[in-house]
Structure 1
Amino acid sequence: MFFLFGLGTKQKHLGPGETRTCPRCHNTTQWARMREFRQFSVFFVPLARWGRRQFEACGICGAAVAV
C-alpha cells in the first residue's frame, strides 16, 4: 500500500540548556533545549505545522520540562 501523505511529530534540537537535577532519574546533567511540533505533509513536503512548544529534556532519561 502506498501513502501520499503523512502526519507526525517532529523534534528539533536547539542547543544546550541549563544544568539541572532531573526529578525522574535524580542525575545532575546539562539538559538539551528542544522544539516540538505536529506536521502534515504530502509527498514529503510539509504543508501545515501546529502545536509548537519548547522544552528542555534530560539527556539521560528523556524527562521534559517546559521552558
Structure 2
Amino acid sequence: MIFIGSIAQGQKDLGFIQTLICKKCGRYSSVSVFMVYTYFSFFFIPLFKWGKKYYAVSNCCQTTFSIPDEIGKAIARGEAVTLREDDLEIVGTSVSYAHCPDCGFLLSSEYTYCPKCGRKL
C-alpha cells in the first residue's frame, strides 16, 4: 500500500485591506491580512489545519505585523473589523519577510526556494 501524506505550511489571503498610518515608516498606506497555518494532506487533499497565525503586511515598506488571534478569526469569519495601531505588533520587515515574486507567498529570509511554487529566490 502506498501512503502519500505530508505536513506543510499554507497561507491564505483573507481579502481584508485597511488603510492606516504604518507603525514602522509613518506613511499612509494599506495593510493586507493573511492567515498562515500548518496542515496535513493525504493524497494531496488538505485534511487538518492547526497553528493558525494572523499577519498584516503593509504595502508601503512591506513590514509584517502580527495581529491578535481574536481579531484574525473575526476577519476570517467576514465580520466588520477595524485594525488599530495597538493591534499591530512588528514581527518583520522587508529584509526578514518578503513575498514570492511569482505566487505572493509570505517568505522568511531563510528560504532559498519558495515553499509554495518552488521558484528560486
2:65 matches 1:64:
yes
Measured after TM superposition, the shift of residue 31 of structure 1 is 0.5
Alignment partners' CA distance in 1, 2:35 and 2:46: 16
Percent of pairs identical after alignment? 21
SS of residue matched to 2:62: coil
Alignment partners' CA distance in 1, 2:8 and 2:26: 31
Measured after TM superposition, the shift of residue 20 of structure 1 is 3.0
Equivalent residue number for residue 7 of structure 1:
7
Higher strand residue share: 1
Between the two structures, name the one with larger relative contact order (CA 8 Å, sep ≥ 6).
1
Distance 1:27 1:5, change over 3 A: farther
Measured after TM superposition, the shift of residue 22 of structure 1 is 4.3
Measured after TM superposition, the shift of residue 13 of structure 1 is 1.0
Structure 1, unaligned runs of 5 or more = none
Higher helix residue share: 2
Alignment-mate amino acid for residue 42 of structure 1: F
With the length of structure 2 as denominator, give the TM-score of the two structures.
0.43
Distance 1:62 1:10, change over 3 A: farther
Is the contact between residue 55 and residue 64 of structure 2 (CA under 8 Å) also seen in structure 1?
Answer: no
SS of residue matched to 2:54: strand
Alignment partners' CA distance in 1, 2:23 and 2:51: 25
Tell me how large the CA RMSD over aligned residues is.
2.2
Number of residue pairs the alignment of both structures matches:
63
Equivalent residue number for residue 32 of structure 2:
32
Measured after TM superposition, the shift of residue 51 of structure 1 is 0.6
Structure 2, unaligned runs of 5 or more = 69-121
With the length of structure 1 as denominator, give the TM-score of the two structures.
0.69
Alignment partners' CA distance in 1, 2:8 and 2:63: 19
